[in-house]
Structure 1
Amino acid sequence: MQSTTWPLSDKARGLLRRIHVNMPWHLLPRYQDLIEQYRLNLELGFSAADLDTGARRDFQKAADALARQGSRLTFHGPFWELCPGSCDPLIRQISRLRLAQLFDLITIFRPLQVVCHTGFDPRHHSSDHGPWLERALEVWEPLVDRAEQLNIRLLLENVWESGPALHRAVFDRLPSSHLGFCLDLGHQHAFSSTPLEQWLVVLADRLGEIHVHDNDGSRDAHLPVGAGTIAFPTLFGFLLDRGRRPLLTLEPHEQSHFTASLNGLAAVLPDRYYGAESVAAAPW
């Protein structure tokens, strides 16, 4: 894609170096010029196909180029069909394999933190909640150990969970400073029956990242900030009151939505929130 000038407000331009933008690995070549032009910080997302077909030399080449231009990185792990707490041992085995493949890339890209889904779906797993959790912990615990050795954070994201109880249970059972929570605002708004404030109260002490997009509560539409009904002032007011400044990652699914979302975020993000770009794998 050719370099271009985006219609961004001055404040939005100032945010470019303070936030991350999700970028599926297979789309990296398409947006390479824009990434370089704006020195975007990226959340690199890897699918199972990426992990199977990607060559180490290509990963290293991309990592070197991103490092030269000063782009900070985070990871988003594969998630389709993965379920660490599955009652089927073979599904747990492939879940371990895919997550281990992701962690093998950490020494190449040196991401600040890694985001993964829990794989919990209340439509199928609620009646098996306790055993599901025990099985999932057997998958997550070795990854937490690897995160500690690599000095990065592993963050578990909310998707279908109706409330924060599952995440809280995992964090209480694995009380590592290298394990935390990624709040996906769109998922919470579309899929959860628990108010945003309750998620924040229960999990603020482990909150390391927020996936930023919007919707009207009916589906996970990935709209620009301000185009839906998510209460962003409530979110940022809560975080500022408690001195929490997790890393912010925009998740637009269209290039035009990126521009609109960045401008929308600039309009609702308090000036005092600046500084969230400083992330280190240290005690919460």
Structure 2
Amino acid sequence: MNRLDRLGLAVMQPELDRHAEWLMHGARDIELQDLCESVELMDGEWSALARRQVALLQHHRGRIGVHAPFWNMHLDALDPQIRRVVQGRYLLGLDFTEAVGGQWLVVHSPFYFWGHLMVQHRRTLSQEIGLAQLTLEPVLARAAELGVTIVIENILDRDPAPLLALVASFGSPHVRVSVDTGHAHVGAQHGGLSAQGWLTQTAPLLGHVHVQDNDGSADEHLAPGEGTVHWPGVLRALRATTTDPALVLEVVPEHVDAAVRWIQALPAPTVIPEPTL
């Protein structure tokens, strides 16, 4: 059973500066997201930022991950030239992950229209999986060398079946599913599974969770309790996981303080004493 003791934050540098002490004191999971939000950083002094973050977190004993660039990145790109660009950006993400001593790299699901009546993937799923495998081939080889896990996050997916099929197709411990509770909640308003349902159905291959809230109408990245996600069910599903996924609250900067308060207010785990012989 997962006690949620590692539940931490996805942050960029300003929020990391503010909350580093709290994160380190609890040995909590940290996801560094500067690289995926700044094109200038990708082609600039990203290594200087990585060194700064390593110095700041030198006493951190928890897990660290990185979010790969995602703007205009298509995991199942058909055009070989576009595929090479995507590979290059993901490999850059791994370079950053290596520099900060990270354990996971987040990339986005290619199934942007799964569940829409116009695109059901009935004839194209195997082709899309094949293209995603081509894209990730050099990336996965590098990740395996580094001991890093590629986690593929649900974005507009409504049904976890294609994403599970994609992850399973690699047959590798270095590829796992990432579930974003907010994305799932928006999809649930249009016939998809709830966040709890996503966590339950992906449990055997679950490697990472983005915890966030919204009212179901948009992907707002609010702190839990500020939207309409059913948190008792989500927390039950998280505690039931057996794969020890990375757990981070991914909220907009102005809601990070509220997210920290929510984590701090979670009930302490019940410790069952060992029987006396």
Would you say same fold, with TM above 0.5? yes
1:262 aligned to 260, 270, 276, which one?
260
1:38 aligned to 22, 41, 55, which one?
22
Tell me, yes or no, if the aligned pair for 1:79 and 1:119 is still in contact at 8 Å: no
Tell me, yes or no, if the aligned pair for 1:225 and 1:262 is still in contact at 8 Å: no
Distance (whole Å) between structure 2 residues aligned to residue 80 and residue 170 of structure 1: 21
Cα 1:272/1:207, change in 2 over 3 Å: farther
Distance (whole Å) between structure 2 residues aligned to residue 83 and residue 187 of structure 1: 18
Alignment match, 1:235: 234
Deviations 1:101-121 (A, max 9, x none): 111223211112111112331
Stretches of structure 2 that go unaligned for 5 or more consecutive residues are: 272-277
Aligned length: 253
Alignment match, 1:194: 192
**TM-score under structure 2 length normalisation:** 0.80
**How far 1:69 moved relative to its partner?**
5.5
Structure 1 residues 52-201: aligned runs within 5 Å: 52-68=43-59, 72-122=63-113, 126-127=120-121, 128-192=124-188, 193-196=191-194, 197-201=196-200
Of the structure 1 ranges 194-203 and 208-217, higher mean CA displacement relative to structure 2 is found in 194-203
Distance (whole Å) between structure 2 residues aligned to residue 56 and residue 254 of structure 1: 23
**How far 1:227 moved relative to its partner?**
1.4
Deviations 1:173-201 (A, max 9, x none): 11111211111000110135322344234
Tell me, yes or no, if the aligned pair for 2:97 and 2:103 is still in contact at 8 Å: no
Of the structure 1 ranges 190-199 and 124-133, higher mean CA displacement relative to structure 2 is found in 124-133
Distance (whole Å) between structure 2 residues aligned to residue 138 and residue 82 of structure 1: 14
RMSD: 2.7
Deviations 1:55-75 (A, max 9, x none): 534422432332245564211
Residue identity in the other structure for 1:187: H
Of the structure 1 ranges 135-144 and 182-191, higher mean CA displacement relative to structure 2 is found in 135-144
Amino-acid identity (%):
26
Tell me, yes or no, if the aligned pair for 1:226 and 1:261 is still in contact at 8 Å: no
Tell me, yes or no, if the aligned pair for 2:111 and 2:163 is still in contact at 8 Å: no
Distance (whole Å) between structure 2 residues aligned to residue 241 and residue 59 of structure 1: 34
Stretches of structure 1 that go unaligned for 5 or more consecutive residues are: 1-14, 274-284
Cα 1:242/1:182, change in 2 over 3 Å: closer
Deviations 1:139-191 (A, max 9, x none): 12332222221112111111111211221111221111121111100011013
Tell me, yes or no, if the aligned pair for 1:79 and 1:117 is still in contact at 8 Å: yes
Tell me, yes or no, if the aligned pair for 1:236 and 1:270 is still in contact at 8 Å: no
Alignment match, 1:271: 269
Distance (whole Å) between structure 1 residues aligned to residue 58 and residue 249 of structure 2: 20
Distance (whole Å) between structure 2 residues aligned to residue 168 and residue 118 of structure 1: 10
1:22 aligned to 4, 7, 10, which one?
10
Residue identity in the other structure for 1:23: V
Distance (whole Å) between structure 2 residues aligned to residue 260 and residue 232 of structure 1: 15
**How far 1:39 moved relative to its partner?**
4.3
**TM-score under structure 1 length normalisation:** 0.78
Residue identity in the other structure for 1:66: L
Distance (whole Å) between structure 2 residues aligned to residue 135 and residue 78 of structure 1: 19
**How far 1:49 moved relative to its partner?**
3.0
Tell me, yes or no, if the aligned pair for 1:22 and 1:252 is still in contact at 8 Å: yes
Distance (whole Å) between structure 1 residues aligned to residue 267 and residue 186 of structure 2: 22
Distance (whole Å) between structure 2 residues aligned to residue 130 and residue 195 of structure 1: 22
